[in-house]
């Protein structure tokens, strides 16, 4: 569909890219094949969302809990992430032309320093871009993110820089990885699961949820359209009447 086909677009979409493993299993392939297809689809849907004019989109790529998977699977996912980062560096001009700002949500301290270097490079190189804000959540946990923000504030309070009773919601918000970005309006989760799995907890306080049984590698631009069309029809009240 085209941007003008929608009466309203969410300011910020969150996508939980789930179902890669089951996609591979259905085909008798190793789980890593599912992640390869999932990574391809991330590129497709990310590009499509940008073309539609979605200004902020966050993709959940790897959670803080995903480290508990077999080491081989974790390594395969990190390799794919590395490939994507290399590509982002090589195609930097393309991203700049499209006005894409790339950011990574999550704790970088547990990620391979070689990847962190690339992450920092593309974040810095695209930081002036304003057309599309593409966030990729890697080693991301919503609870850990809130904890981190609160710890920073606690340090300030302990140093006497702020009074605990003066701490505001905005103070907590400004310590999140998404600081300055709008709250999530729509969370999309394919693969039949209906849970947040620690994704953007704070940011999704008033998000609309859209679920689908399609597995992430098969999740198409038509499915994305369906989610946006469903969002248009939602009656958002934010606690009002
Ligand atoms: C999502 O697909 C990718 C990551 C969590 C990294 P899964 O690997 O969780 O796929 P399923 O849920 O096992 O099918
Ligand atoms: C959520 O999927 C994390 C990502 C998609 C990166 P999981 O497959 O890890 O979630 P659970 O375990 O089903 O809740
Ligand atoms: Mg899963």
Measured in Å, residue 64 CA sits from the centre of ligand 3 at 13
- Tell me the three-class secondary structure of the chain, residue by residue: CCHHHCCCCCCEEEEECCCHHHHHHHCCCCHHHHHHHHHHHHHHHHHHHHHHCCCEEEEEEEEHHHHHCCHHHHHHHHHHHHHHHHHHHHCHHHHHHCCEEEEEECCHHHCCHHHHHHHHHHHHHCCCCCCEEEEEEEEECHHHHHHHHHHHHHHHHHCCCCCHHHCCHHHHHCCCCCCCCCCCCEEEECCCCCCCCCCCCCCCCCCEEEECCCCHHHCCHHHHHHHHHHHHHCCCCCCCC
Mean pLDDT by 10 residues, the chain (241 residues): 97 98 98 98 98 98 98 98 98 97 98 98 98 98 98 98 98 98 98 98 98 98 98 97 94
Choosing from 138, 197, 201, 204 the residue with most ligand 2 atoms within 8 A of its CB, the one to mutate for a pocket test is 197
Q: CB under 6 Å to ligand 1: residues?
A: 17-22, 62, 66, 77, 191
Note the pLDDT of residue 72. 98
Task: Give the ligand whose atoms come closest to the C-alpha of residue 21.
Answer: 1
Report whether residue 62 contacts ligand 2, using a CB cutoff of 6 Å: yes
Note the pLDDT of residue 216. 99
Yes or no: domain 8-144+184-231 corresponds to CATH 3.40.1180.10? yes
Task: Give the ligand whose atoms come closest to the C-alpha of residue 16.
Answer: 2
Contact 49, 224 (CB under 8 A): yes
Task: Give the ligand whose atoms come closest to the C-alpha of residue 188.
Answer: 2
pLDDT tens, residue by residue, 153-197: 999 999 999 999 999 999 999 999 999 999 999 999 999 999 999
Pick the residue whose CA is nearest to atom 12 on ligand 2: 197
Note the pLDDT of residue 26. 98
Report whether residue 60 contacts ligand 2, using a CB cutoff of 6 Å: yes
Distance CA 61, CA 38 (A): 10
Domain ranges, ordered by start, for the chain: 8-144+184-231
Residues with catalytic roles: 18, 66
Distance CA 136, CA 22 (A): 22
Note the pLDDT of residue 79. 98
Note the pLDDT of residue 150. 98
Least Cα distance to 231 among 4, 54, 6, 34 occurs for: 6
Measured in Å, residue 197 CA sits from the centre of ligand 1 at 11
Distance CA 187, CA 89 (A): 28
Note the pLDDT of residue 170. 98
């Amino acid at each position: 569909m085209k941007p003008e086909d929608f009466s309203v677009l969410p300011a910020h979409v969150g996508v939980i890219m789930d179902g890669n493993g089951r996609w591979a299993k259905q085909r008798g392939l190793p789980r890593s094949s599912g992640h390869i297809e999932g990574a391809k689809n991330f590129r497709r849907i990310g590009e499509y969302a940008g073309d539609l004019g979605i200004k902020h989109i966050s993709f959940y790529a790897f959670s803080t809990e995903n480290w508990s998977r077999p080491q081989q699977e974790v390594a395969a996912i990190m390799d794919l992430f590395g490939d994507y980062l290399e590509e982002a560096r090589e195609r930097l001009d393309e991203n700049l032309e499209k006005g894409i700002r790339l950011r990574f949500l999550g704790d970088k301290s547990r990620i391979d320093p070689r990847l962190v270097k690339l992450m920092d490079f593309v974040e810095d190189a695209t930081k002036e871009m304003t057309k599309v804000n593409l966030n990729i959540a890697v080693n991301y946990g919503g609870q850990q993110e809130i904890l981190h923000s609160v710890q920073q504030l606690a340090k300030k309070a302990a140093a006497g820089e702020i009074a605990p009773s003066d701490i505001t919601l905005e103070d907590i918000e400004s310590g999140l990885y998404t600081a300055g970005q709008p709250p999530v309006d729509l969370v999309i989760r394919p693969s039949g699961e209906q849970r947040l799995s620690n994704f953007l907890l704070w940011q999704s306080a008033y998000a609309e949820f859209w679920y689908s049984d399609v597995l992430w590698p098969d999740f198409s631009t038509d499915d994305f359209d369906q989610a946006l069309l469903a969002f248009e029809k939602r009656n958002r009240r934010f606690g009002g009447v």
